[in-house]
Structure formats: structure tokens, C-alpha cells
Amino acid sequence: MAEANNERDQRQNEEIEAMAAIYGEEWCVIDDCAKIFCIRISDDIDDPKWTLCLQVMLPREYPGTAPPVYQLNAPWLKGQERADLSNSLEEIYIQNIGESILYLWVEKIRDVLIQKSQTEPDPDVNKKTEKKTVERERERERERGPIVKKQPANTAKKGARKVSEPVPEVEELPPIDHGVPITDRRSTFQAHVAPVVNPKQVKMVLSKLYENKKVASATHNIYAYRIFCEDKQTFLQDCEDDGETAAGGRLLHLMEILNVKNVLVVVSRWYGGILLGPDRFKHINNCARNILVERNFTSSPEESSKTLGKKKVKKDKKRNDH
């Protein structure tokens, strides 16, 4: 009985550590002893329209035989909408009994908020607050300089550029997805993935990731990318060990085997004080493979056969320090 309790405690602690690693400042500890936590979830981190706070309490039996006790806090969440979201969370639990589900819950709520932001206007907006928001956004844009954000369709001005006129190309930050962390002997590994079509986007994604304090504080941020050049029928690819000798090359080799293209994978490792030996490479590759498969970056057998024999152009800048 004591062993089972210890195992549950360990699984809970590992999940808490992983959630804090993924969500950083969005994750808040309300009562560490009672294992009560809160996470602020929004449709867009930089410019949120819809926000919800998920408060959870992890019972002793979680994740084995009991779900987290949860509360959804948002002034706009009422009636059928609240019931539908609660049903979705409970369905996720039923489909994953015995597994850690906090990450799945958070991302499900985020998906709902994103869908809501695409179909409904901002909550509780009147003319005065809307005007102030627009003014604040304009000030932010001037301060941010080159950062580009999509302009909502309803803010297009009369006399805007005609369709026939050439529109200057502006590089946009690709969407970044975060994988489920793997924890082994107090070391945590987490993969991040983004679609990229040129080296400039690679730099943009890396810069954005490093803005996250948790990612920036990782012991290693190993990455690799592969970009398919249609005009030359070749791959532009590169990798970085970030002090974890040979890890970048192994990650790139995995991407070659999976035949992925136009994608950047970053694996963050937070060292827990215990040497893992070769297991660390296994975890790095497992993190990367899982997120590539989950986000549908892996090619079908037909596509893989078409790209066999393509030339590879590799810029090798791996570091060997440790």
C-alpha cells in the first residue's frame, strides 16, 4: 500500500514539475501541501480576447483511480457553454483513466478559446474600452517595431491597398507547439515544434522560445531543422547540441529517418542532478518523435519514397563542449 502511495505521489510531482516547465508564469501554486494549482489559459498569449482560469486539486488517488477536482473560473462562462466544456474535460478523463491529464485539459480549453475567438467578438466590449484598446495596441505596435500581427478583418480601413497592388512580403512568426514532457530521475525533457520554410523563421522561433524564462533556463536546448528547397530539390538542414555532445546530430538523424521537412524541433532538457547516461538521448529522440507524429509532420510512405535520393545541404556547427 505504501509503495502504491509513493508511486502516485511521484507521478503527481512529476506532472506538477512538467506543467510548471511548460506553462511558466501561467502556472500558479495556490497550496502546495494540498496540491491545489491554478493555470491561466487564453486564446492568444500576446493579445488575449478570451481567458479562463482552471483551478485543480489533485486528490490522493489521482491519476490512478480518481480525476482532479476542478473549477472553471470565467465571468463569461455560463449555462450550456460551461456544461459543454465540463463534459469535454470529463470525457478526456474517461478516455485516459490512470494517465496524467492536466496537459490535455489545458490544451482542450485553449482549443475551445481559440475557436471562440474566431467566431465571437471580445466579451464585454463597449465603444470606450474598444477605443482605448485600439490606442494601446497601436502604441505597442510602435514599441515592438518589426513584430507583425494579423489585423482583424473588422478593422480594415477604407481606401486600403487594392488586391491588384503588390503587397510587400513580411515574415510572420510560425505557430509553435509544445509536446508532453518526459521526466526521468528528476531530469525533464520537452519538445517544441514549428513549421519553417527558411532560416530566418528558424531564428524567429528560437528567439520566441527563449523569451520564455523556463525554456531559457533549461540546461540544454537542442535543436535541428530541415527545409526542403523546391527550386534546387535539396534539403537545407542544420542542428545544435547546446552543450549536450552529439545530441543535435542524433536529433537530425531521427528527422531524416522520419523524412520530415520544413520543420524545426527544439528539445529542452532541465537537468535534475542525476546522470542518465545514454538514456538522455533516448528521451530527447522520443520527445521529438512524439511531437512530430502528433502534429502530423511525418510523411506518408508515398511521400517518403518520392523524396529518397534528394541532396542534403548541411551547415555543420555542432558544439562539442560539455
The Cα–Cα gap between 64 and 11 comes to 10
User: 245: which 3 cell numbers?
Assistant: 555532445
Query: Can you say whether the dihedral through the CA atoms of 292, 293, 296, 300 is positive or negative?
Result: positive
Query: Residue 234 pairs with which residues in a beta bridge?
Result: 229, 311
Pairing of β 263-270 and β 220-229: antiparallel
| Per-residue model confidence (pLDDT) at position 155 | 40
| Per-residue model confidence (pLDDT) at position 305 | 40
Count of CB atoms situated within 10 Å of the CB of 134: 11
Task: Report helix, strand or coil for 312.
Answer: strand
DSSP per-residue codes, 186-254: TEEEEEEEEE-SSHHHHHHHHHHHHTSHHHHT-SEEEEEEEEEETTTTEEEEEEE-TTSTTHHHHHHHH
Rounded to an integer, what is the distance from CA 159 to the centroid of its chain?
Answer: 38
What lies within 8 Å, CB to CB, of 304 at 6+ separation is 259
Pairing of β 51-57 and β 69-73: antiparallel
What pTM was computed for the model? 0.45
The Cα–Cα gap between 134 and 79 comes to 31
Q: Do 298 and 259 contact (CB within 8 A), yes or no?
A: yes
| Per-residue model confidence (pLDDT) at position 133 | 53
| Per-residue model confidence (pLDDT) at position 313 | 56
Cα–Cα nearest to 180, from 58, 296, 297, 19? 19
Task: Report helix, strand or coil for 4.
Answer: helix
**Residue burial 206-233, b: 16+ Cβ < 10 Å; e: rest:** bebbeebebbeebebbbbbbbbbeeeee
Digitized pLDDT (tens) for each residue of the chain, 322 residues in all: 667 677 788 888 888 888 887 777 888 888 888 899 999 999 887 788 899 999 999 998 898 888 899 999 888 888 899 999 999 999 999 898 888 889 889 999 999 999 998 888 766 554 344 445 556 655 655 554 443 333 444 444 444 444 444 544 567 888 999 998 889 988 899 999 999 999 999 999 999 999 988 888 889 999 999 998 888 888 898 998 888 888 888 888 888 878 888 999 999 999 888 888 888 888 998 889 889 988 888 864 444 444 444 555 555 444 333 4
User: 87: which 3 cell numbers?
Assistant: 463534459
State the distance between the two ends of the chain, measured CA to CA, in whole angstroms.
Answer: 42
Q: Which long-range contacts (CB under 8 A, 24 or more apart) does 80-87 make?
A: 85/109, 85/112
The Cα–Cα gap between 25 and 109 comes to 18
The Cα–Cα gap between 309 and 304 comes to 10
Cell 514549428, residue located: 194
| Per-residue model confidence (pLDDT) at position 314 | 53
The Cα–Cα gap between 176 and 206 comes to 10
